[in-house]
A and B are shown apart, each in its own frame.
Chain A
Amino acid sequence: MKARLVLFGGVAVALLPIAYLLSLALRPAGEVLNSSLLPDTVTVDNFVKVFDTVDLSTMLTNSWISAVGAAVLAVVIATPAAYFTARHVRGDRLLTILLASYCAPPIVAIIPLFFLLRYAGLTNSVAGLILVNGLAGVPVAAWLLDGFVRRIPVEIDEAAVIDGLSVAATLRKVVLPLLWPGIVAALLVTFFLSYNDFLFAVYLAVTKESQTLTVGLSLFQGDRNVQFGQQAAAGLLGVAPVYVLALAAQRYLVGGLSTGATK
């Protein structure tokens, strides 16, 4: 079908650079600039050696824990907030404030954030990253969830009120199940954003124990003879599990009103 053909073409375009990364990871150091998309010799050396060059397992663990924690934190805060912004008469104001907090690049904010974390004893720690990335993800999650809440007809809420449910119960029993695709999408997005965060990780988690994958990849850039093969291998080892996560989560993206409460 035409749709499938176009999709196929789109996937090919989306994947070309990624496939090239794989091709880089599978070739020895001398062949990086061989003018071709494909390696001349195939080797899996890079995938092994990279664990010696940088502390990859620690970094991957840190990246995962901080990203999962940040995603959960962001969505937990943003979901009630989104219900507020979508339903309350003056809800839009909160949306605007949230967006404002998201607008400026956090480069200079590194200093006050550093002080904040130091006050809380969370510098150079994964917990600190969870806090910062989680809070930074609230605006994104809230904006996304707001859109989903708005599409749930108000009548459903009102029906719950008539049934005598409290606000908290309404949220939990009635709204949440219908909101599920939105929540999954918001979780995934905030996960991706935290996982690939660079600025916070570089300056707020400097020690070897707390470094994340993005910092590790930048270490390769710092070398005079950049080991592209190993860098690509490290990056792909970072991407693969996230792809699996996305695969596992994607079935929850379907659904909505058709699977929920009816009149």
Chain B
Amino acid sequence: MSQRVPRWLAAPAIAGVALLLVYPTIYLVALALTKSSLAKPLNRFTGLDNLAGAFASPAFTPSLWKSTVFAVVVAVTTTLLGLGIALLLRHRGGGFGVVGALFLLPLVTAPVLVGVAWKLLLAPVGGGLAGVFGALGLAGVNPLGHGVGALVVLMVIHVWQWTPFATLIAFAALGVVRPELLESARIDGASPWRIFTTVTWPAIAPSIWAVAVLELVIGYKVFDVLVVITAGGPGFSTSLSPFVIYQTGLRGSFDMGTAAAQTLVFGLVVGAVATVVTALRSRAVRADA
């Protein structure tokens, strides 16, 4: 069967990738190996200097760790939460509906506004929740004011924003489960958990794994909300890698050479972690095929 699948189907995607991946990556490597600023890229060959410079910046290497922790935590959380909500939506019957669409609102709202809304909600003086905090005896407390707290709050905000993505896909995937199989399993007296593991999960696994992989990469690339809410602070506690790269390349001295080197290193890290997850996915998918 698979021999019949002609390669021209993949051609447009490959062309797109060539344009968006191959060309910029070659350019990126060239930038990383030369003295390049936003104004004057590819000025002079400097070898691995930029790479050394990338690691020398105090914010960059720790950011790789922070980004990884952040991405893994939010990927797991959003995927599981999204799946849970999708199951509840299916369970209550009816379609995605008004309720489902309401769940999509965090994803649909512009990141800048998400940042503004949360920042103002949490502002210790005058913020939306300041009254609530006061009543709980926490007046003047700013969850964003301390290192670890700030990162946790960012995770919460990201999960709030990206769970709808998982919900949407999970819901669509659940539509693929054959009702006859569900019925017969129920008639056989299987518990809900058993029904889930033997009937539902195999049907939706590929989609859920796809969601997990995408949420991971999206979690790695978090940027817009960061800039608005914490600008990388306090200190460097919320300086995740994309933010550090942005500071290097588009602010500060517009040092595109170092930013390119950082991007390559970061891309490799993301790729490595993503490969682990995709390997897990491949095993799971092949087992059910």
Contact = CB atoms under 8 A, between A and B. Distances in A.
A101 B20 contact: yes
Contacts of A23: 128
Nearest to A89: B2
B148 interface: no
B112 A107 contact: no
Instruction: Give the interface size class of chain B.
Output: 35 or more
Contacts of A140: 214
Interface in B147-188: 160, 164-165, 168-169, 171-173, 175-179
Interface-central residue, A189, A213, A253, by most chain B CB under 10 Å: A253
A128 interface: no
B121 to A, nearest CB: 6
Interface of A: 1, 3-4, 6-7, 10-11, 13-18, 20-21, 23-24, 32-37, 76-78, 80-81, 83-85, 87-89, 91-92, 94-113, 116, 132, 135-136, 138, 140, 142-144, 146-148, 150-151, 154, 157-158, 161, 167, 181-182, 184-185, 188-189, 192, 195-196, 198-199, 213-214, 217-218, 221, 228, 231-232, 235, 238-239, 242-243, 246-247, 250-251, 253-258
28 contacts: A3-B91, A10-B88, A14-B102, A15-B102, A18-B105, A24-B120, A84-B7, A91-B5, A97-B17, A98-B13, A108-B249, A109-B28, A111-B27, A132-B20, A135-B20, A140-B214, A144-B211, A147-B206, A147-B208, A150-B289, A167-B6, A182-B207, A188-B168, A196-B110, A214-B112, A231-B113, A251-B95, A253-B172
Interface of B: 1-7, 9-10, 12-14, 16-17, 19-21, 23-24, 27-28, 31, 38, 41, 85, 88-89, 91-92, 95-114, 116-118, 120-121, 123, 125-131, 134, 160, 164-165, 168-169, 171-173, 175-179, 203-204, 206-211, 213-214, 217, 220-221, 223-224, 228, 241-242, 245-246, 249-250, 256, 259-260, 263-264, 266-267, 270-271, 274-275, 278, 282, 285, 289
